[in-house]
Amino acid sequence: MADYNLVQFVFDREGLSVGEDVAVMTCHIRETVQGAPDILPITDQGRDDFVGDVSNWWGIVKGHVTQYVTFREMRFYDVPSQAGQDMGDPVRIQGVALPGTGTSGALPPQVALSITFKTAKRKTWGRFYLPGIDRASCDDKGRVMTSVLDEICGATHALTRRDETGGALVVFSRKEWTHHDPQQIQVDDVYDVIRSRRYRQPHYRAQLSAG
């Protein structure tokens, strides 16, 4: 049994463009039990609890994700006890198959919202990048609306809580091969750009002789 799991959130983007690849968001989790040590083996119950937390998270976040992007599944991998070892196949694949519910239209697919997990040491902060943000999230000056930030930040707290038994999101250090618990969640009003999420090819090119 592993002390940590890497979790992939897989988002299907076929609704944006046929043949488009998936967007993947990753985090690590550890098992939390009241009154127990920080490091415990991850159990099926811990994974079950984290799936439930993610369901609650997505229930709020999906309102700010375009209807053309679908949260397809979660994939859990056991993290080896030391660096240099292969994680192998997923130990669990949890189907989700729930699309976003934002109906205002999609922003360009390389636009993402960064959610930062601030730990006690600046060098060990972590983040993930939420894809598929809808146009209604954008104010008239090109920033993310504060109401959207507050909702997503509040929803994300369900993933990091350590005062309950279950699986909790942590920042995993590959250099130290251990975890750091988030002390604060931060969501900025500046959109990020993930170049690898751009459309793979254009559907149309406007061209005109320059002569």
For the chain, what are the domain ranges?
A: 4-197
pLDDT of residue 136: 97
Q: What is the dihedral of CA 153, 156, 160, 166, to 10 degrees?
A: 160
* pLDDT for the residue numbered 192: 97
Radius of gyration of the chain (CA): 18
pLDDT at 56: 97
pLDDT digits (tens, 9 = 90+) for 89-121: 999 999 999 999 999 999 999 999 999 999 999
How many angstroms separate the first and last alpha carbons of the chain? 69
Residue 10: Cβ-neighbour burial (10 angstroms; 0-12, 13-18, 19+) = middle
Contacts of 85 (CB under 8 A, 6+ apart): none
Give the residue ranges of the chain where pLDDT is below 70: 35
| Cβ neighbours of residue 28 closer than 8 Å, sequence gap 6 or more | 4, 5, 6, 7, 79, 169, 170, 171, 172, 179
Q: How many Å apart are CA 22 and CA 61, to the nearest integer? A: 18
pLDDT at residue 5 in the model: 97
The confidence score (pLDDT) of residue 36 equals 72
